[in-house]
Structure 1
């Protein structure tokens, strides 16, 4: 009897240990490194002035005199905003507060794209926030491709080091002729360098900026295992502190860096050609190393089943 009780006790202890391990694997509230906040360097854009409604208009509200917008996903539709201008390089940022509760299958995206103008060979730079089957456990997926489609994407996925549903956090994209950098709360999590060895894979055509929420049930959570549960709808995301500082593309002429510099907003810093944006600082490099060591859990460069031959930039 004593042996049976001992085995029972050990079994219960093992279950509790596994549960604790599972919980801890989703509890990544780290203290992030200190970095110079790029989001303090550029002016905010009134959401209702910088963007127009692209779909799901009835699920979009402008608040705080247009400085904030809420977008909702319900059974009828998702919703989205699109910038009124197209941009050829720049710094683009949004402070986002994600929906609370069970969010599997929900996708919140802040991204650049020109799919409407180039349907067969478009460019795209994505920050996609993917809901999860665990409460408030969102992840961030970054993606970049040029002259292609989603099948040519170069995805990397990261856990967040905070609860993104409690308050607004900054999600930013720096895109210029030197590199593309993805930042979360000003911490660089990924750098994609422009190389003359393979220029065709680097986004080079003017793009619009999008902010959206939509149903990604088919793929977003564990490859589509957990679809959106509309019992918890509507799912509401909030966007504020929008920043659009770059080269506004003139649709009547071919945009170039030299012609676009004049269109950069009245900031002391130039995200297109400024020396601060040509390469990462040592502080940013160290912060990115921290993020990638602790938080990245998928990179296309490590996906051997997907690629028989890894993309050239992975070597």
Structure 2
């Protein structure tokens, strides 16, 4: 995943632009009435990770458990580690329950994302959940991002603080990706929607992608712009993944179009995450849930960063 270094002046400006609700969002001990939304994760079966994924890197730091239904990915001085899905998908619903490393975690990056950089190295697409470590282990930052058609010169990042401690127990992180929109969800609550309309259509991820789960050293940029690198005195850093769901159109390279299938087997899905009613647009409840999440917990948006973009990306000017 390509990351671009940011200037010191940019970070000063970001500090000014952070929303006034950040103090509320910082309190992990706060009690929040969570929005009532449909639990989309209840609609799909869980994948067996050791059958649905291959090793991407760091095989010695990958440990499957519970008959392959969950996995621990470790970062230490030797290596990070990661998995790549056996199948590639062209649209669908993708979700994992994740528990992040506790304690000091500066510079550590845990990622659950989709990419086709291996197939299209100069014209790739990407949809990212990235978790950025912190000096205070409870204060992980959730970053979402998308790239389309190789347009990596513009990072479309949005950052959130979470309303829970992500190191204490598993929480669900999900992606809806189809021809209508991309939606990022945390415990089934939408936190971001990217619609495939207007100027976004030219940079909208549209080519088959693999699913990745990784942990790695992001010392150069992840925490306070690289000021707080990974301190291996606190290793190992262990991220746990489970309840993996990958439901959509499996891409078969021998065909000119993807084939919708369930669990990698030929045949129609019993629930179609590409065009089904629950997936083509947000319900009123989901919209209210997204407003709640963004108003209380979003701390950075590329569309509110004129220091980084003197001329804001065109989709920002449409909001």
TM-score, reference length from structure 1: 0.89
1:103 paired residue among 100, 105, 115: 105
1:198 Cα shift? 4.0
Larger radius of gyration: 1
Contact 1:120 1:149 (8 Å CA) reproduced? no
> Residues 258-269 of structure 1 correspond to what in structure 2 (within 5 A)?
260-261=259-260, 263-265=261-263, 268-269=270-271
2:128 paired residue among 117, 126, 129: 126
Q: Does 1:154 align with 2:159?
A: no
Q: Which residue of structure 1 lines up, in the alignment, with residue 308 of structure 2?
A: 306
* DSSP 3-state at the match of 2:315: helix
Write out per-residue CA displacement over residues 29-62 of structure 1, whole angstroms, 9 at most, x where no aligned residue. Answer: 4332121111001110000011011100000001
**Structure 1 unaligned regions, length at least 5:** 1-21
1:245 Cα shift? 0.1
Paired positions, count: 290
Which range moved further: 303-312 or 240-249? 303-312
Q: Does 1:35 align with 2:48?
A: no
Q: Which residue of structure 1 lines up, in the alignment, with residue 172 of structure 2?
A: 170
Contact 1:264 1:270 (8 Å CA) reproduced? no
- Distance, in Å, in 2 between the alignment partners of 1:286 and 1:44 is 28
Write out per-residue CA displacement over residues 106-154 of structure 1, whole angstroms, 9 at most, x where no aligned residue. Answer: 0000000000111111000000011111132111000001012543220
- Distance, in Å, in 2 between the alignment partners of 1:34 and 1:206 is 33
1:73 Cα shift? 0.1
Instruction: Choose between structure 1 and 2: higher helix proportion.
Output: 1
Kindly report the root-mean-square deviation, in angstroms, between the aligned alpha carbons of the 2 structures. Answer: 1.6
Q: Which residue of structure 1 lines up, in the alignment, with residue 84 of structure 2?
A: 82
1:216 paired residue among 210, 218, 231: 218
Write out per-residue CA displacement over residues 215-238 of structure 1, whole angstroms, 9 at most, x where no aligned residue. Answer: 000000011110011111000011
- Distance, in Å, in 2 between the alignment partners of 1:129 and 1:31 is 24
Q: Which residue of structure 1 lines up, in the alignment, with residue 286 of structure 2?
A: 284
1:267 Cα shift? 5.2
